[in-house]
């Protein structure tokens, strides 16, 4: 088996040599190749034209960081293999346009599907077992959060894991946003494993040396905060994502009545609450959904969808005639003052289809919020000694999530909604 070397714009050369060489066989499976057809940043490319990179390239980047951290921590060979393979396969369960998809369709959670694909897809499971007997079952523990030792699982699923460490750098690079820079080398240099979990069956945990690495970790957290505020939650990105949600909602409504247009039979099955086989789920990706959108909008080789609302919504999205937004601030009480009046305006224009052209969007700019089983420790702190990272950040802006609430609407509604929004806010507010 030959070495595999990939040129990567973020990490340079990503190499599968020596003991890592057999991992390359996983890349050739259908489940992994499907990730080439799912964009990492959803619809952000409608705003940031360079952001068309795939979850496949991100998977390679996560694998590369897993290789580096395995060497840094001197993990035992079997644990190192588990971390690398889990990093490579961690996104295998994502559906098309990931988060919009999960918002609408029941049973579409990507974590659950990741576990199912690893367990049920014969080709991927055979490739995993060829790497090491029992690897597929061991890998499933990363999705069910049952994998032990826990500190190894945190390398793949925590607030400071190989997934996040790669996607921040990668999304910043491809979007062109300059916010996503942080010192990856020094974070990895500051990572260690120490016995700090007092009373636990396994006291070992991932730790960050305060004197070595805390500034680099803070830089990473600031970078993540900026990327959420300026890129992931950009007003036009959110408008596009809500348009796709509205398309999916309309399609699901039609499917439940047996009136859906052709193009996505697996989605219709999910919408009706039916069970879906792994083989059918793997047919779902951005490319298949984009082809369906083109067809429903009448941009394909056949007629548009018979339902005029679905055809209209799909056409707007395909042609980038995007919804507009009003910033409502961060006070939930404003939403209550806006909702009924805005709905009335939409009903006057769109009748019974009003809900397809209006949305209240609440985004939370992520601070630092780790579940107990994802928490990391900081050691050698001058005041606390060993302390959880979450506790250390409690009183810092980095630890506090910020909410942004927006009214999202079809452009035809803007003039009538502006006075509604201004009245609710108690001051003039221009469209954003």
Maximum Cα–Cα distance across the chain: 69
Residues shown for the chain: 432
- pLDDT tens digits in sequence order for the chain, 432 residues long: 789 999 999 999 999 999 999 999 999 999 999 999 999 999 999 999 999 999 999 999 999 999 999 999 999 999 999 999 999 999 999 999 988 999 999 888 999 999 999 999 999 999 999 999 999 999 999 998 899 999 999 999 998 999 999 999 999 999 999 889 999 999 999 999 998 877 677 889 999 999 999 999 999 999 998 999 899 999 999 999 999 999 999 999 999 999 999 999 999 999 999 999 999 999 999 999 999 999 999 998 888 999 999 999 999 999 999 999 999 988 888 998 999 999 999 999 999 999 999 999 999 876 677 777 788 899 999 999 999 998 888 867 665 567 889 999 999 999 999 999 999 998 765 555
Task: Give the Cα separation of 346 and 361 in Å (integer).
Answer: 16
For domain 323-364+401-432, give the CATH number. Answer: 3.30.1370
Task: Name the residue ranges covered by the structural domains of the chain.
Answer: 4-233+367-400, 235-319, 323-364+401-432
Q: Pairing relation of β-strands 12-16 and 324-327?
A: unpaired
| The pLDDT of residue 372 | 77
Task: Give the Cα separation of 262 and 288 in Å (integer).
Answer: 12
Distances 313 to 101, 240, 339, 406 between C-alpha atoms, Å:
16, 11, 21, 20
Return the bridge partners of 387, or none.
378
Return the bridge partners of 403, or none.
364
In this structure, which topology does domain 4-233+367-400 adopt according to CATH?
Answer: Hypothetical protein af1432 (1.10.3210)
Dump strand ranges (E) for 317-426. Answer: 324-327, 358-365, 377-381, 385-388, 402-409
- Token pair of 358, please? 């209006």
| The pLDDT of residue 98 | 82
Helix (H, G, I), strand (E, B) or coil at 377: strand
Task: Give the Cα separation of 129 and 140 in Å (integer).
Answer: 13
First to last CA, the chain: 55
pTM of this prediction?
0.94
Place of tokens 């690398």: 84
Task: Give the Cα separation of 244 and 27 in Å (integer).
Answer: 30
Helix (H, G, I), strand (E, B) or coil at 192: strand
């Amino acid at each position: 088996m030959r070495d595999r070397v990939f040129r990567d714009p973020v990490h340079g050369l990503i190499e599968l040599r020596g003991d890592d060489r057999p991992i390359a066989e996983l890349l050739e499976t259908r489940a992994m190749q499907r990730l080439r057809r799912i964009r990492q940043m959803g619809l952000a490319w409608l705003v940031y034209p360079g952001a068309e990179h795939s979850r496949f390239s991100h998977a390679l980047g996560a694998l590369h960081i897993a290789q580096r951290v395995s060497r840094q921590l001197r993990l035992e060979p079997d644990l190192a293999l588990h971390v690398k393979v889990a990093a490579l396969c961690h996104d295998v369960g994502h559906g098309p346009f990931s988060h919009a998809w999960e918002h609408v369709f029941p049973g579409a959670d990507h974590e659950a599907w990741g576990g199912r694909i690893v367990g049920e897809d014969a080709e991927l499971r055979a490739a995993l077992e060829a790497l090491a007997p029992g690897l597929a079952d061991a890998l499933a523990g990363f999705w069910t959060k049952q994998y032990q030792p826990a500190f190894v699982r945190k390398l793949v699923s925590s607030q400071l894991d190989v997934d996040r460490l790669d996607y921040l750098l990668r999304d910043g690079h491809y979007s062109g946003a300059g916010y996503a820079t942080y010192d990856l080398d020094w974070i990895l240099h500051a990572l260690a494993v120490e016995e700090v979990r007092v009373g636990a069956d396994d006291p070992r945990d991932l730790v960050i040396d305060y004197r070595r690495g805390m500034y680099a970790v803070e830089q990473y957290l600031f970078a993540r905060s900026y990327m959420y505020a300026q890129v992931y939650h950009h007003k036009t990105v959110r408008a596009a994502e809500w348009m796709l949600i509205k398309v999916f909602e309309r399609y699901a409504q039609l499917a439940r009545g047996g009136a859906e247009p052709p193009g996505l039979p697996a989605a219709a099955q999910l919408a009706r609450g039916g069970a879906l086989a792994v083989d059918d789920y793997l047919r779902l990706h951005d490319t298949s959904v984009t082809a369906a959108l083109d067809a429903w909008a009448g941009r394909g080789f056949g007629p548009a969808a018979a339902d005029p609302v679905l055809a209209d919504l799909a056409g707007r999205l395909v042609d980038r005639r995007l919804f507009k937004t009003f910033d409502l601030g961060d006070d939930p009480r404003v939403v209550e003052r806006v909702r009924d009046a805005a709905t009335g305006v939409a009903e006057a224009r769109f009748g019974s289809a009003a809900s397809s052209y209006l949305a209240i969007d609440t985004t939370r700019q992520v601070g630092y919020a780790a579940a107990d089983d994802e928490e990391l420790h900081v050691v050698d702190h001058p005041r606390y000694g060993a302390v959880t990272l979450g506790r250390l950040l409690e009183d810092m802006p980095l630890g506090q999530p910020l909410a942004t609430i927006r009214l999202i609407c079809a452009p035809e509604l803007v003039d009538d909604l502006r006075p509604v929004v201004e009245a609710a806010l108690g001051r003039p507010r221009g469209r954003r």
